Amino acid sequence: MLQRIHDIKILLRIKKLGLVLFLKGLSIFTALIFFVNFKASNQEITDYFLDQSIDNEVFEVKLKDRLNLINSCNIFQFSDVISNTLETVNDSYKSNKQWDKVVWISPQQISFDLAKKNTTNFIVQHSWKIFFMTIGLGILGSLLYIYANAVLEKSKGIYKGAIYKHKSTNKGWIAWLTTIYLIGFYLILYFRPNWAVNWTFIIDPISEFLNGQKASQWFLYGFLYCMVMLVMGVRMLIKYQNNNYQKIRTICVVFFQIVFAFLIPEIMTNLGLPAYDFKNAFPLDYDFFFDWNLDRLLSSGNIGLFILVWGVFLTLVIVPIFVYFFGKRWYCSWVCGCGGLAETLGDPYRQHSNKTLNAWKWERLTIYSVLLFSLFMTLVVLYTYIFNANEFLGFSAYQVRGSYSFLIGSWFSGVIGTGFYPIFGNRIWCRFGCPLAAYMGIIQKFKSKFRITVNGSQCISCGNCSTFCEQGIDVRSYAQRNKDIVRASCVGCGICSSVCPRGVLKLENIPLNCSSSKKI
Amino acid sequence: MKHVVIIGNGIAGTTTARHLRKKSDCRITLISDEHPYFFSRTALMYVYMGHMRFEDTQPYENWFWKKNRIDLIQSRVIKVNTAKKEILLQDITRIRYDDLVIATGSKPRILPVPGNHLKGIQGFYFKKDLETLEMDTISLLKQEKKAKRVVVIGGGLIGIELVEMMYSRNIPVTFIVRDALFFGKTLSEKESNLLTKHIQSHSGIDLRLDTNLLEILSEHNSEKVSAIKVQFQDQKPEVISCDLVLSAIGVQPNIDFLNSSKIEVSKGVLVDNYLQTNIQNVYAIGDCAELKNPDPFRNSIEAVWYTARIMGETLANTIANNFAMKYTPGYWFNSAKFFDIEYQTYGNISAKIQGDESRFYWEDNSQMRSLQLNFSKIDKRVLGVNVLGIRMRQEVFEKWFKQNRKIEYVIEHLQDANFDAEFSKGFEEEVVSYYNKKYNTSLKSRKRSWKRIFSKF
């Protein structure tokens, strides 16, 4: 016993050290936004206007004047000057109805691009050092914390930890802080990428190595996404060390994120090919049929054509066939990037999904609405593309596309879907929003071999399965009646089966003619 | 409209109410003193360990009862007047019934030793036990004292769960078990040893087998527990100081309120095979019922979740159809979890080999799992199975029992019964080769067949 107390003390110290390192890394990373002073020389502005083929001398001259006035300032002031200049210029055009002269490029993009030209700042000069002080410390700290915690709660089985006793996982103040941070991050990413320019400097060398270009905010997002999934994937491997299904699934989903969603598209860019995530199926990949994407693919020769055919084939043939054989889990918890983040970063929050009947009603309403919205948008976009029109049935392709990207693409899947992990659980987007999940869910419900089978009458209604179902399925309500679970929303994560203390639940692919003999 | 009053909203009473509502339009009243809504008592340990919140133990949302027209009353029944067909509640309201269902379950047995009245002794059965234990734990963890210790008395299911609960809070625990083998009334020596090894692999757990509790001690002039006196076999008694004593020496029917009634009771409420007491329209089910003529190999009182549920379903049929349905429990089955090792049992298999039975036992020590089959020496038909660390399909084993499958058939077709999660390490090949070696046979493990698994016969 004394030995154990001694060990516990050391482990608690390691855990604390891990937390401190992580928080240090996170604080430095966050504070970086406010550092570095920016200015843009006349030459840089001229070059930029040429690069972007912005043909507006009034704007160019005014911008140069204004930026010359300030000596150097942080990114917020720098961006403000650019926004204000653009606004004054555009306002005068708009009031004079000179629509052709209005500059449509967003001021955030101009700020980001001009700020990015600043290559003499200290982050660029010490990018590797700063990388280790931010992302590196974050990774190191997390791993130490995860390791110590795993040994502390060491168990041959599945440990769930005292999840409702920790402020980070019981919707306590840490959970709220995390939520605010995540939301803040997504808001910056989607709507103020220029504020994130200092973060992109850190990983410029990695970006240049992979795709030959400096890091954009999307490269930053992709890179952090992979790192988070990797670290939290290690946590999953430790946590579920005695469950092969969980281990293989976790390795698979992290592999698809890093290789298919991140590395391959970057390398394609490097090779001058159109970047494409080969596993990202329409309609989750909602901009697949957008005009710019079609143009891009059609102008890239055979590889472009291949991607076009593959994308259609993936959605229409591969997805339904795989769902028939394995259920939608093959995608949602084995391959998908959104699902992958939910299963790794989101795992500590899975118990927060709402299990009420009301939530199930809302789920069906919202998810199928998003599916219809995405199909309708695609119809409008394709019609206008093929027939070279601006509108379809009075709907402007530009506006429909824009509202989907804004409402669903940015707000629903990003800000709400991930930002609220610690409060509403880790599958908000997958359960209430994802149009691909909706499509696969219909197949899973009506024509799939996949189901969760219930072992006889052994359920003791304890509720572990329902509590830890990230999709908010009341698994217990089926298990205690010895009814197999065939639900459109089940992503087959297998946690209900893992946490069941009586061995009642199992994920199975059963031939339809056999399983029909068992009550559903 | 017939009024059915059910006393006790545990799994027995709730199952009766639910099935009654499915089959009949009668008025249903469900009375419980403990909590207005049905919750899963078996999950209280998970609340203590912080895996769940108390509300997560409730299988039905609160609107469920009103929607299904099941009236809930939170009160204690203090008297039953069978002549007037009336019950008396604590708040002196009287309720008339047409059918009365007694489903009051169990209560923990009191430790039969001196000092059992002291403060700091508790069972773990009711919701309020959870609350008391949580408070005591918090104050214990706050104490500066170096050597904290909790004692758990009784090697049953609740006992081992209490030990796991203490372990989850890093509280050192001494586990006093009377039998020489852990869970030795149910499991064989080898199975028991496997579990003992697993329990002892957790540091901070002091398992004392073959040990009797003699006395609970307190400091001078204090009403608070300070130590226990125990005796290993017939050696010199030993004093172990401790802060809390958790008692889990078994349960007994919770039927004191029937003392003054005409309902015939022994240890539990005596019922016939139709679950009716000596008085018409009064029934008893679940932990508190005592069968006058139990099936062979079955106990007259079975304080088991599954028994309570089957009784509830049976009785709901009787009351709804006005036609007495016989209680037929079917093949025995049960399950449990000892720390991380799951246990399932189907059919007839007792700790010791009986009469003309024979046993096959296989163990995988590194994976902490085992399989034991009980079969007839005469016709080799499989009678029962125990598994530790392995999940087995209940329906498949029940089918095999019904079909009188021989041991060789079962050994060859174990893949049909395997219910372990996908990608789990199989055990069938090893079992077959071990069997072949032992009995000099040349059996082969057959591939899983969905057809066989789902065929009715």
Residue B81 has a pLDDT of: 96
Most A CBs within 10 Å: which of B141, B386, B415, B419, as the mutation test of the A interface? B419
CATH number at residue B428: 3.30.390
Distances (CA, A) of B376 to B119, B189, B405, B407, B440: 51, 20, 11, 9, 18
**B327 part of a folded domain:** no
Q: How far apart are the first and last CA of chain A?
A: 50
**pLDDT (0 to 100) of residue A65:** 87
Same domain as B145, residue B72: no
Chain segment A352-366, per-residue pLDDT in tens: 999 999 999 999 999
B257 & B245 share domain: no
CA distance B437 to chain A (A): 29
Residue A417 or residue A56, greater confidence: A417
Q: Is the dihedral of CA A325, A328, A334, A336 positive or negative?
A: positive
| Residues of chain A neighbouring B58 (CB-CB closer than 8 A) | 463
Distance from CA of A315 to the nearest CA of B (A): 27
If you ran DSSP here, which 8-state letter would residue B258 be given?
G
Same domain for B392 and B308, yes or no, is no
DSSP string, A88-151: HHHHHHHHTT-GGG---S-HHHHHHHHHHT--SSHHHHTHHHHHIIIIIHHHHHHHHHHHHHHH
Among the partner-chain residues B52, B172, B391, the one whose CB lies closest to the CB of A503 is B391
Check pLDDT > 60 for residue A110. yes
The per-residue pLDDT for B1 is 87
Q: How confident is the model at residue A119 (pLDDT cuts 50, 70, 90)?
A: confident
Q: What is the pLDDT of residue A519?
A: 47
Least confident among A47-51, A407-411, B116-120, B216-220: A47-51
pLDDT tens readout for residues A274-327: 999 999 999 999 999 999 999 999 999 999 999 999 999 999 999 999 999 999
B53:A245 CB<8 A: no
Residues A157-189 have pLDDT tens digits of 556 678 999 999 999 999 999 999 999 999 999
Q: Which of A160, A458, A511 sits opposite B335 (nearest CB)?
A: A458
DSSP assignment of B369-392, as one string? EEEEEEEETTT-BEEEEEEES--B
The answer to whether residue B114 is domain-embedded is no
Residue A269 to residue A240: CA distance in whole angstroms: 37
CATH topology of domain A447-515: Alpha-Beta Plaits (3.30.70)
CB B7 within 8 A of CB B100: yes
Does any CB of chain A come closer than 8 Å to the CB of residue B419? Answer: yes
Does pTM top 0.90 for this prediction? yes
- What percentage of chain A reaches a pLDDT higher than 90? 73
Read off the tokens for B364. 């995988």
Q: Which of residues 227-256 of B touch A (CB under 8 A)?
A: none
Q: In CATH, what number is assigned to the domain containing residue B213?
A: 3.50.50.60
Residue (of B411, B394, B401) closest to B453 by Cα position:
B394
Strand partners, B270: B290
CA distance A366 to chain B (A): 23
Question: Is B439 within the bounds of a domain?
Answer: yes
Taking an 8 Å cut-off on Cβ atoms, the answer to whether B42 and A503 are in contact is: no
Distance CA A365, CA B260 (A): 57
Cis bond upstream, residue A283 (ω within 30): yes
pLDDT value for B280: 95
* Gyration radius of chain A over CA positions: 25
**Residue B207 domain-assigned (yes or no):** yes
Hey, are the CB atoms on A3 and B203 less than 8 Å from each other? yes
| Residue-averaged pLDDT of chain A | 92
**Enclosing domain of residue B35:** 3-107+252-321
Strand order in the sheet with B282-284: B70-74, B27-32, B3-7, B99-102, B282-284
**Residue pairs between chains A and B whose CB atoms are closer than 8 Å:** 140
Clarify whether residues B87 and B39 are in a common domain: yes
Across the interface, of B42, B52, B419, the residue whose CB is closest to A455 is B419
| Residue B425 located in a structural domain | yes
Residue B387, in any domain of the structure:
yes
Decide if B61 and A157 are in contact by the 8 Å CB cutoff.
no
Nearest CB to B61 within list A242, A357, A456: A357
Put simply, the answer to whether B57 touches A462 (Cβ < 8 Å) is yes
Task: Give span(s): CATH 3.30.70.20, chain A.
Answer: 447-515
Among chain A residues, CA nearest to B396: A456
Question: ipTM for the complex?
Answer: 0.94
Higher pLDDT, B290 or A124: B290
* Confidence label for A441 from pLDDT (cuts 50, 70 and 90): very high
Which chain B residue's Cα is nearest to A354?
B56
Clarify whether residues B52 and B140 are in a common domain: no
Provide the 3-class DSSP secondary structure of residue B63. Answer: helix
What DSSP string runs through A398-439? HHHHHHIIIIIIIIIIIIIHHHTHHHH-TTHHHHHT-HHHHH
Furthest CA-CA distance within chain B: 72
Q: Which residues in chain B (340-379) have CB-CB distances under 8 A to chain A?
A: 340, 342, 344, 368
What's the per-residue H, E or C state across A153-192?
CCCCCCCCCCHHHCCCCCCCHHHHHHHHHHHHHHHHHHHC
Mind listing the pLDDT tens digit for each residue in B368-397?
A: 999 999 999 999 999 999 999 999 999 999
Give the angle A475-A476-A478 at the CA atoms, nearest 5°. 75
CA distance B396 to B407: 14
The reply to whether B148 falls in a domain is yes
Residues B127 and B238 in one domain: yes
Q: What is the pLDDT of residue A367?
A: 97
C-alpha to C-alpha distance for B457 and A201, rounded to whole angstroms: 69
| Three-class secondary structure assignment of A436-493 | HHHHHHHHHHHCCCEEEEECCCCCCCCCHHHHCCCCCCCHHHHHCCCCCECCCCCCCC
- Residue that finishes a domain, picked among B198, B217, B249: B249
- Among B276, B300, B321, the domain-final residue is B321
Q: How far apart, in whole angstroms, are the C-alpha atoms of residue A287 and residue A406?
A: 12
Rounded distance between C-alpha atoms, residue B79 and residue B257, angstroms: 6
**CB A496: neighbour CB atoms within 10 A?**
28
Cβ neighbours around A289 below 10 Å, total: 20
Q: What are phi and psi of A130, to 5 degrees?
A: -70, -30
Among B287, B321, B355, give the residue marking a domain's end.
B321
Q: Are residues B32 and B140 in the same domain?
A: no
**Is the CB of residue A29 less than 8 Å from the CB of residue A185?**
no
> Do residue A464 and residue B422 have CB atoms under 8 angstroms apart?
no
Question: Which of B51, B344, B456 lies nearest to residue A160, judging by beta carbons?
Answer: B51
Q: How many CA atoms lie within 13 A of B85 on its CB side?
A: 13
Decide if B145 touches A, using CB distance below 8 A.
Answer: no
Burial class (CB in 10 A: 0-12, 13-18, 19+), A137: buried
Q: Is the pLDDT of residue A70 over 50?
A: yes
Does the CB of B203 have a partner CB in chain A at under 8 Å?
Answer: yes
Give the minimum alpha-carbon distance from B300 to chain A in angstroms, rounded to a whole number.
Answer: 21
Same domain, B293 and B384: no
Pick from B279, B277, B299, B278: which is nearest to B287 by CA? Answer: B299
Cβ atoms < 10 Å from Cβ of B147: 11
Q: Cα distance from A348 to chain B (closest Cα, Å)?
A: 11
Q: Based on the fold, state whether residues B345 and B429 are members of the same structural domain.
A: yes
pLDDT at position A222: 96
Q: In chain B, which residues have pLDDT < 50?
A: none
Q: Is the pLDDT of residue A405 over 50?
A: yes
Asked whether the predicted pLDDT for residue A1 surpasses 50, the reply is: no
B46 and B96 inside one domain: yes
Looking at the predicted structure, is the pLDDT value of residue A45 above 90? no
- Tell me how many domains chain B contains: 3
Residues B340 and B443 both lie in one domain: yes
- Interacting residues of B33 by C-beta distance below 8 A, sequence separation 6+: B74, B75, B76, B77, B90
Question: Torsion over CA of B240, B242, B248 and B252, rounded to 10 degrees?
Answer: 100
Is B112 a domain residue?
no
Q: Quick one: B90 and B141 in the same domain?
A: no
CA B257 vs CA A97, B77, B80, B260: distances in Å: 90, 7, 8, 7
